[in-house]
Amino acid sequence: MHRRIAAVVFACAIACAGQSSAQTSEERAAARALIAKHGDAIVTVLGSGKIRITQGGREMQNRDERIRAIATVLDPSGLAVMALSVLDPGDLMAGTLSRGRPVGAPQVSVSTEATDLRFRMADGKEIPVRVVLRDKDLDLAFLRPVDPPATPMAQVAGASGKAAAIDLLVVLTRLFEVANWQVSASFASVVAVVEKPRTFYLLTSGAFGAPVFDPQGRFVGIVVRLRSDDDQGTAGAPPIVLPADDVREVAKQASGK
């Protein structure tokens, strides 16, 4: 995707944010039903991340950071999907640090390493997991428990849904420890449907890695980050939703790993 697309959709999101009307009591009831149905399939990814920044081959910074992210379980074996840019922000950070640098300046590179990854489940139990597939183009990372779960895990299953401009969608996420790890829901409007080079939905708001549903309860997709050709200028870009069918197609590759 080109930087020009990123700039256009970002401007559109700012212009359109807040234009959706108040939700009806039926829509609010549908959102509460989604929390009850899919809440346990929204897990927190915890871990440690080591970030190393170099410029022209010289190390400028080396630090450890805590990983806290949202993932969505897609099958009973515990295969889950999250936004890769949250787990591995190296490309995004390198693009941001390189922005505006003069031609010929030493190159900035960022390497990241995630360790001690685990799911924090709805009941508070922590399960060690590993990354089984990364897709930078789609900003997807798939994780799976190191050991097969003793019982089938809650999952987001069922029919896929599609969205159109101005549609109202429900975004599910899980809050962190300051809010006692509660599942939360919010409404977001579809600002635009972009069909090329691939289909995605531009939202007014959304948490990266969160699943999105229509009011009928159908799984619409996963919130990911908009990418440009060189990752510059996307740090503040609005969230997009990668359609559920696309997520599930990539998940088939991860299932065999």
User: What architecture (CATH level 2) is domain 3-255?
Assistant: Beta Barrel (2.40)
How confident is the model at residue 1, as a pLDDT? Answer: 43
83 has pLDDT over 50 = yes
Phi, psi of 217 (to 5 degrees): 90, 5
Q: Is the separation of the CB atoms in 181 and 120 below 8 Å?
A: yes
pTM of the predicted structure, to 2 decimals: 0.81
Q: What is the pLDDT of residues 22-80, one digit of tens each?
A: 789 999 999 999 999 999 999 999 998 887 777 777 767 777 788 899 999 999 999 99
* β-pair partners for 189: 168
Domain ranges of the chain: 3-255
Contact 160, 248 (CB under 8 A): yes
Closest CA to 87 of 57, 109, 102, 65: 65
pLDDT of 13 over the 60 cut: no
Phi and psi angles of residue 38, each rounded to the nearest 5 degrees, phi first: -115, 0
pLDDT level of residue 97 (50, 70, 90 thresholds): low
> How many Å apart are CA 91 and CA 237, to the nearest integer?
15
Q: Are 172 and 255 in contact, with CB atoms under 8 Å apart?
A: no
Q: How many residues does the chain have?
A: 257
Sign, CA torsion 253/173/66/243 = positive
Q: What burial letters (b/e) apply to 75-102, b meaning 16+ CB within 10 Å? A: beebbbbbbbbbbbbbbbbbbbbbeeee
Q: How far apart, in whole angstroms, are the C-alpha atoms of residue 218 and residue 202?
A: 18
Per-residue pLDDT of 142-161, as tens digits, reads 999 999 999 999 999 989 99
Alpha carbon distance 186, 171 (integer Å)? 5
